[in-house]
Amino acid sequence: MSTAVTAASPGDKLIVGSRAFSSRLIIGTGKYRTHEQMRNAHEASGAEMVTVAVRRVPLDRSSESFLDYLNPQLQILPNTAGCYTAEDAVRTARLAREALQTDLVKLEVIGDQTTLFPDNEQTLEAARILVKEGFVVLPYFNDDLIMAKKLLDAGCAGIMPLAAPIGSGLGVQNPANLRIMREQLPDATIIVDAGVGTASDAAIAMELGADGVLMNTAIAEAQDPAKMATAMKLAIEAGRLAYLAGRMPKRLYASASSPLDGVVK
Amino acid sequence: MKLYVNGEEREVGGALSLAELIAQLELPVARIAVELNREVVRRSDWSGTMLHEEDRIEIVHFVGGGRD
Protein backbone atom coordinates (compact mmCIF):
# COMPACT_ATOMS: atom_id res chain seq x y z
CA MET A 1 0.00 0.00 0.00
CA SER A 2 1.42 3.34 -0.99
CA THR A 3 1.01 6.49 1.05
CA ALA A 4 0.66 9.89 -0.56
CA VAL A 5 3.52 12.10 0.49
CA THR A 6 2.32 15.45 -0.80
CA ALA A 7 -0.90 15.86 1.15
CA ALA A 8 -2.48 14.62 4.33
CA SER A 9 -5.33 13.01 2.39
CA PRO A 10 -7.72 14.17 -0.30
CA GLY A 11 -10.47 14.50 2.28
CA ASP A 12 -8.40 16.63 4.65
CA LYS A 13 -9.76 20.10 3.88
CA LEU A 14 -9.68 23.55 5.32
CA ILE A 15 -13.31 24.36 6.11
CA VAL A 16 -14.57 27.94 6.07
CA GLY A 17 -18.33 28.07 6.50
CA SER A 18 -19.78 26.04 3.63
CA ARG A 19 -16.54 26.21 1.61
CA ALA A 20 -13.78 23.60 1.61
CA PHE A 21 -10.21 24.20 0.43
CA SER A 22 -7.49 21.67 -0.34
CA SER A 23 -4.75 24.21 0.39
CA ARG A 24 -4.36 25.37 3.98
CA LEU A 25 -2.36 28.40 2.93
CA ILE A 26 -4.06 31.74 2.40
CA ILE A 27 -1.94 34.56 1.08
CA GLY A 28 -2.00 38.30 0.67
CA THR A 29 -1.64 40.49 -2.37
CA GLY A 30 0.33 43.42 -0.98
CA LYS A 31 3.98 44.50 -0.94
CA TYR A 32 5.03 42.64 -4.10
CA ARG A 33 7.52 44.48 -6.30
CA THR A 34 5.50 43.75 -9.44
CA HIS A 35 2.17 42.23 -10.33
CA GLU A 36 3.97 39.50 -12.23
CA GLN A 37 5.98 38.58 -9.16
CA MET A 38 2.76 38.34 -7.19
CA ARG A 39 1.17 36.11 -9.78
CA ASN A 40 4.16 33.78 -9.81
CA ALA A 41 4.19 33.58 -6.02
CA HIS A 42 0.47 32.87 -5.92
CA GLU A 43 0.90 30.06 -8.40
CA ALA A 44 3.87 28.54 -6.56
CA SER A 45 2.06 28.66 -3.21
CA GLY A 46 -0.81 26.48 -4.36
CA ALA A 47 -3.10 28.76 -2.33
CA GLU A 48 -6.75 28.75 -3.32
CA MET A 49 -7.69 31.89 -1.45
CA VAL A 50 -6.09 35.34 -1.44
CA THR A 51 -6.96 38.40 0.59
CA VAL A 52 -7.40 41.90 -0.83
CA ALA A 53 -7.95 45.32 0.72
CA VAL A 54 -10.70 47.85 0.01
CA ARG A 55 -9.67 51.43 -0.74
CA ARG A 56 -11.00 54.62 -2.29
CA VAL A 57 -10.72 54.70 -6.08
CA PRO A 58 -8.27 57.41 -7.15
CA LEU A 59 -10.30 60.03 -9.00
CA ASP A 60 -7.43 61.75 -10.77
CA ARG A 61 -6.53 58.92 -13.10
CA SER A 62 -8.22 55.96 -14.64
CA SER A 63 -7.00 52.94 -12.76
CA GLU A 64 -7.28 49.40 -13.99
CA SER A 65 -8.70 46.85 -11.63
CA PHE A 66 -6.08 45.22 -9.48
CA LEU A 67 -8.27 42.13 -9.51
CA ASP A 68 -7.36 41.62 -13.16
CA TYR A 69 -3.94 40.51 -11.99
CA LEU A 70 -5.37 37.67 -9.95
CA ASN A 71 -6.03 34.21 -11.28
CA PRO A 72 -9.84 34.09 -11.63
CA GLN A 73 -9.80 30.62 -10.04
CA LEU A 74 -8.75 32.11 -6.71
CA GLN A 75 -11.31 32.69 -3.99
CA ILE A 76 -11.03 36.35 -3.03
CA LEU A 77 -11.20 37.12 0.66
CA PRO A 78 -11.76 40.85 1.12
CA ASN A 79 -10.34 42.27 4.33
CA THR A 80 -11.06 45.33 6.40
CA ALA A 81 -7.39 46.21 6.89
CA GLY A 82 -6.89 49.81 7.90
CA CYS A 83 -10.12 50.07 9.92
CA TYR A 84 -9.88 51.33 13.47
CA THR A 85 -13.54 51.16 14.50
CA ALA A 86 -16.27 48.55 14.30
CA GLU A 87 -18.35 51.00 12.26
CA ASP A 88 -15.68 51.49 9.60
CA ALA A 89 -15.03 47.76 9.40
CA VAL A 90 -18.74 47.05 8.92
CA ARG A 91 -18.99 49.71 6.19
CA THR A 92 -15.91 48.31 4.46
CA ALA A 93 -17.26 44.75 4.61
CA ARG A 94 -20.58 45.87 3.10
CA LEU A 95 -18.77 47.66 0.26
CA ALA A 96 -16.63 44.61 -0.41
CA ARG A 97 -19.70 42.40 -0.54
CA GLU A 98 -21.39 44.75 -2.99
CA ALA A 99 -18.34 44.92 -5.27
CA LEU A 100 -17.45 41.23 -5.24
CA GLN A 101 -20.75 39.56 -4.48
CA THR A 102 -19.08 37.49 -1.79
CA ASP A 103 -20.18 36.94 1.78
CA LEU A 104 -16.63 36.20 2.95
CA VAL A 105 -14.79 38.80 4.99
CA LYS A 106 -11.58 38.84 6.94
CA LEU A 107 -12.44 41.19 9.75
CA GLU A 108 -9.65 43.39 11.04
CA VAL A 109 -10.13 46.21 13.48
CA ILE A 110 -6.79 47.64 14.46
CA GLY A 111 -6.26 49.22 17.85
CA ASP A 112 -2.89 50.87 17.50
CA GLN A 113 -0.70 52.02 14.63
CA THR A 114 2.67 50.98 16.02
CA THR A 115 1.86 47.39 16.87
CA LEU A 116 -1.17 46.88 14.60
CA PHE A 117 -2.58 44.82 17.41
CA PRO A 118 -6.30 44.21 17.07
CA ASP A 119 -8.92 46.08 19.07
CA ASN A 120 -10.69 43.02 20.42
CA GLU A 121 -13.71 44.92 21.74
CA GLN A 122 -14.40 46.63 18.41
CA THR A 123 -13.68 43.39 16.55
CA LEU A 124 -16.30 41.52 18.55
CA GLU A 125 -18.85 44.28 18.04
CA ALA A 126 -18.26 44.29 14.27
CA ALA A 127 -18.34 40.49 14.13
CA ARG A 128 -21.78 40.40 15.77
CA ILE A 129 -23.19 42.91 13.28
CA LEU A 130 -21.66 41.20 10.23
CA VAL A 131 -22.78 37.70 11.24
CA LYS A 132 -26.31 39.05 11.68
CA GLU A 133 -26.09 40.47 8.14
CA GLY A 134 -25.17 37.06 6.73
CA PHE A 135 -21.43 37.48 6.35
CA VAL A 136 -18.99 34.59 6.73
CA VAL A 137 -16.66 36.28 9.18
CA LEU A 138 -13.01 35.44 9.84
CA PRO A 139 -11.75 37.79 12.55
CA TYR A 140 -8.12 38.69 13.25
CA PHE A 141 -7.59 38.83 17.02
CA ASN A 142 -5.08 38.36 19.81
CA ASP A 143 -4.21 34.74 20.56
CA ASP A 144 -6.57 34.59 23.50
CA LEU A 145 -8.87 31.65 24.24
CA ILE A 146 -11.62 33.69 25.87
CA MET A 147 -11.81 36.10 22.96
CA ALA A 148 -11.80 33.10 20.61
CA LYS A 149 -14.83 31.67 22.41
CA LYS A 150 -16.67 34.97 22.23
CA LEU A 151 -16.01 35.31 18.50
CA LEU A 152 -17.21 31.76 17.86
CA ASP A 153 -20.28 32.31 20.04
CA ALA A 154 -20.98 35.39 17.92
CA GLY A 155 -21.17 33.07 14.91
CA CYS A 156 -17.81 33.59 13.22
CA ALA A 157 -16.99 30.87 10.66
CA GLY A 158 -13.45 30.62 11.96
CA ILE A 159 -10.95 32.56 14.00
CA MET A 160 -7.63 34.14 13.06
CA PRO A 161 -5.28 34.50 16.01
CA LEU A 162 -2.02 36.33 15.40
CA ALA A 163 1.30 34.53 15.77
CA ALA A 164 3.22 37.80 16.18
CA PRO A 165 2.70 41.43 15.10
CA ILE A 166 1.63 41.91 11.46
CA GLY A 167 4.61 42.05 9.13
CA SER A 168 7.09 41.33 11.93
CA GLY A 169 8.22 37.91 10.74
CA LEU A 170 8.86 36.87 14.34
CA GLY A 171 7.07 33.54 14.09
CA VAL A 172 4.79 31.95 16.69
CA GLN A 173 5.49 33.93 19.86
CA ASN A 174 3.16 32.04 22.13
CA PRO A 175 2.87 28.40 21.12
CA ALA A 176 1.13 27.53 24.38
CA ASN A 177 -1.79 29.82 23.56
CA LEU A 178 -2.27 28.19 20.18
CA ARG A 179 -2.11 24.73 21.70
CA ILE A 180 -4.62 25.64 24.36
CA MET A 181 -6.95 27.10 21.73
CA ARG A 182 -6.67 23.94 19.64
CA GLU A 183 -7.35 21.67 22.61
CA GLN A 184 -10.22 23.70 24.00
CA LEU A 185 -11.85 24.41 20.63
CA PRO A 186 -11.42 21.14 18.76
CA ASP A 187 -14.14 21.90 16.21
CA ALA A 188 -13.20 25.50 15.43
CA THR A 189 -11.46 26.52 12.23
CA ILE A 190 -8.30 28.21 13.47
CA ILE A 191 -6.21 30.07 10.92
CA VAL A 192 -3.00 31.63 12.19
CA ASP A 193 -2.81 35.12 10.78
CA ALA A 194 0.15 37.49 10.94
CA GLY A 195 3.71 37.17 12.12
CA VAL A 196 5.03 34.21 10.15
CA GLY A 197 8.51 34.94 8.79
CA THR A 198 9.77 31.77 7.20
CA ALA A 199 8.80 28.20 6.43
CA SER A 200 9.58 26.76 9.87
CA ASP A 201 7.23 29.31 11.47
CA ALA A 202 4.39 28.09 9.28
CA ALA A 203 5.24 24.46 10.05
CA ILE A 204 5.21 25.19 13.79
CA ALA A 205 1.78 26.83 13.55
CA MET A 206 0.45 23.77 11.74
CA GLU A 207 2.12 21.32 14.14
CA LEU A 208 0.36 23.12 16.98
CA GLY A 209 -2.92 22.23 15.31
CA ALA A 210 -3.82 25.31 13.28
CA ASP A 211 -6.14 24.52 10.39
CA GLY A 212 -4.41 27.01 8.14
CA VAL A 213 -2.05 29.96 7.96
CA LEU A 214 -2.54 33.35 6.33
CA MET A 215 0.55 35.30 5.37
CA ASN A 216 1.63 38.12 3.13
CA THR A 217 4.93 39.78 4.01
CA ALA A 218 6.88 36.54 4.54
CA ILE A 219 6.38 35.74 0.86
CA ALA A 220 6.22 39.21 -0.68
CA GLU A 221 9.35 40.48 1.06
CA ALA A 222 11.43 37.35 0.50
CA GLN A 223 14.32 37.81 -1.91
CA ASP A 224 12.62 35.27 -4.17
CA PRO A 225 8.89 35.31 -3.42
CA ALA A 226 7.98 32.37 -5.66
CA LYS A 227 10.61 30.19 -4.01
CA MET A 228 9.42 31.19 -0.56
CA ALA A 229 5.83 30.52 -1.63
CA THR A 230 6.86 26.96 -2.54
CA ALA A 231 8.65 26.61 0.80
CA MET A 232 5.52 27.76 2.62
CA LYS A 233 3.34 25.32 0.73
CA LEU A 234 5.64 22.44 1.71
CA ALA A 235 5.98 23.63 5.31
CA ILE A 236 2.24 23.80 5.74
CA GLU A 237 1.80 20.31 4.34
CA ALA A 238 4.64 19.01 6.54
CA GLY A 239 3.25 20.68 9.64
CA ARG A 240 -0.22 19.37 8.95
CA LEU A 241 1.05 15.83 8.48
CA ALA A 242 3.11 16.03 11.65
CA TYR A 243 0.06 17.23 13.58
CA LEU A 244 -2.08 14.40 12.21
CA ALA A 245 0.71 11.89 12.84
CA GLY A 246 0.88 12.87 16.51
CA ARG A 247 4.33 13.73 17.71
CA MET A 248 6.35 11.73 20.26
CA PRO A 249 6.35 13.00 23.81
CA LYS A 250 9.20 15.29 24.83
CA ARG A 251 11.56 13.80 27.46
CA LEU A 252 14.23 15.43 29.50
CA TYR A 253 16.61 12.46 29.22
CA ALA A 254 17.80 10.24 26.42
CA SER A 255 15.89 7.14 25.41
CA ALA A 256 17.99 4.68 23.40
CA SER A 257 16.64 3.58 20.04
CA SER A 258 18.79 0.43 19.80
CA PRO A 259 18.25 -2.65 22.01
CA LEU A 260 20.37 -2.72 25.14
CA ASP A 261 20.86 -6.49 24.97
CA GLY A 262 23.74 -8.02 23.04
CA VAL A 263 26.07 -5.08 23.11
CA VAL A 264 29.66 -6.19 22.37
CA LYS A 265 31.73 -6.07 25.53
CA MET B 1 -24.34 71.47 -6.55
CA LYS B 2 -21.57 70.67 -4.11
CA LEU B 3 -20.69 67.02 -3.46
CA TYR B 4 -17.97 65.26 -1.53
CA VAL B 5 -16.50 62.37 -3.52
CA ASN B 6 -13.96 60.26 -1.65
CA GLY B 7 -13.51 63.16 0.72
CA GLU B 8 -12.85 65.71 -2.05
CA GLU B 9 -15.19 68.61 -2.66
CA ARG B 10 -16.62 68.67 -6.22
CA GLU B 11 -18.94 71.08 -8.02
CA VAL B 12 -21.31 69.45 -10.45
CA GLY B 13 -23.96 71.13 -12.56
CA GLY B 14 -27.67 70.36 -12.50
CA ALA B 15 -29.59 67.27 -11.53
CA LEU B 16 -27.37 64.23 -11.48
CA SER B 17 -27.86 60.57 -10.69
CA LEU B 18 -25.22 58.42 -9.06
CA ALA B 19 -24.78 56.52 -12.34
CA GLU B 20 -24.19 59.81 -14.16
CA LEU B 21 -21.63 60.95 -11.63
CA ILE B 22 -19.71 57.68 -12.01
CA ALA B 23 -19.83 58.05 -15.79
CA GLN B 24 -18.54 61.65 -15.51
CA LEU B 25 -15.64 60.47 -13.38
CA GLU B 26 -14.78 57.91 -16.08
CA LEU B 27 -14.32 55.16 -13.54
CA PRO B 28 -14.19 51.52 -14.54
CA VAL B 29 -17.52 50.31 -13.25
CA ALA B 30 -16.56 46.67 -12.80
CA ARG B 31 -15.73 45.69 -9.25
CA ILE B 32 -16.29 49.02 -7.61
CA ALA B 33 -18.76 49.72 -4.85
CA VAL B 34 -20.44 52.95 -3.88
CA GLU B 35 -21.62 54.41 -0.63
CA LEU B 36 -23.93 57.42 -0.41
CA ASN B 37 -23.96 59.11 2.97
CA ARG B 38 -22.50 55.99 4.59
CA GLU B 39 -24.99 53.54 3.08
CA VAL B 40 -24.10 51.15 0.27
CA VAL B 41 -26.05 51.79 -2.93
CA ARG B 42 -26.50 48.66 -4.99
CA ARG B 43 -25.36 48.83 -8.58
CA SER B 44 -28.91 48.33 -9.83
CA ASP B 45 -29.98 51.45 -7.94
CA TRP B 46 -27.26 53.79 -9.23
CA SER B 47 -29.30 55.21 -12.08
CA GLY B 48 -32.38 55.78 -9.95
CA THR B 49 -30.48 57.48 -7.13
CA MET B 50 -30.49 61.28 -7.52
CA LEU B 51 -27.79 63.25 -5.75
CA HIS B 52 -28.38 66.20 -3.48
CA GLU B 53 -26.40 69.17 -2.21
CA GLU B 54 -23.65 68.15 0.25
CA ASP B 55 -24.06 64.43 -0.40
CA ARG B 56 -21.06 62.36 0.58
CA ILE B 57 -20.09 59.66 -1.87
CA GLU B 58 -17.45 57.01 -1.35
CA ILE B 59 -16.31 54.95 -4.32
CA VAL B 60 -14.02 52.03 -3.54
CA HIS B 61 -12.18 49.29 -5.35
CA PHE B 62 -9.70 46.58 -4.38
CA VAL B 63 -5.98 46.92 -3.93
CA GLY B 64 -3.18 44.57 -3.00
CA GLY B 65 -2.98 44.11 0.71
CA GLY B 66 -2.58 41.28 3.09
CA ARG B 67 -2.75 43.02 6.15
CA ASP B 68 -1.86 46.48 7.29
User: What is the spatial distance between Cα A120 and Cα A86, in angstroms, rounded to a whole number?
Assistant: 10
- Span A93-122, average pLDDT: 94
Q: What is the pLDDT of residue A69?
A: 84
User: What is the average pLDDT across A135-158?
Assistant: 97
Chain B residues within an 8 Å CB radius of A55: 60-63, 65
Q: How far apart are CA A96 and CA A105, in angstroms?
A: 8
At residue B67, the pLDDT reads 52
Contact (CB<8Å) A59/B25: yes
Contact flag A62-B27 (C-beta cutoff 8 Å):
yes
- pLDDT value at residue A4: 46
Nearest residue, CB atoms, B60 vs list A76, A99, A166? A99
The amino acid at residue B58 is E
Catalogue the active-site residues of A: 106
| Closest by Cβ to A38, choosing from B35, B64, B68 | B64
What is the per-residue pLDDT for A10?
74
Per-residue pLDDT tens for B10-63? 998 889 999 999 998 888 777 899 999 999 999 999 999 999 999 999 999 888
Task: Give this complex's ipTM.
Answer: 0.90
Q: A142: closest CA among A134, A122, A154, A153?
A: A122
pLDDT digits (tens, 9 = 90+) for A91-106: 999 999 999 889 999 9
pLDDT value for A2: 46
Among candidate residues A202, A32, A91, the one with its CA nearest the CA of residue B65: A32
Are B32 and A57 within 8 A, CB to CB? Answer: yes
In angstroms, the CA A95 to CA A93 distance is 5
User: Which of A131-135, A244-248, B59-63 is least confident?
Assistant: B59-63
Contacts of B30 in chain A (CB under 8 A): 65
Are the Cβ atoms of B62 and A52 closer than 8 angstroms?
A: yes
Task: State yes or no: pLDDT of A9 exceeds 80.
Answer: no
Asked whether the predicted pLDDT for residue A1 surpasses 50, the reply is: no
Please give the sequence-ordered ranges of beta strands (E in DSSP) within A113-153, or none if there are none: 136-141
**Residue A225 touches partner B, C-beta closer than 8 Å:** no
Contact B6 A56 (CB under 8 A): yes
Q: What is the pLDDT of residues A70-81, one digit of tens each?
A: 888 999 999 999
Comparing alpha-carbon positions, the chain B residue that sits nearest to A194 is B67
Of B28, B60, B68, the CB nearest to A30: B68
CB contacts of A140 in chain B (<8 Å) are 67
Contact B60 A57 (CB under 8 A): yes
Q: What is the pTM of this model?
A: 0.90
A45 touches chain B (CB under 8 A): no
Looking at residue A157, what is its pLDDT? 97
What single string gives the DSSP state of each residue in A161-219? E-SSSTT-----S-HHHHHHHHHH-TTS-BEEES---SHHHHHHHHHTT-SEEEESHHH
Query: pLDDT above 90 covers what percent of chain A?
Result: 79
Give pLDDT, residue A61: 67
Chain B contact set for A116 (CB, 8 A): 67-68
Give the nearest chain B residue to A193 (CA atoms): B67
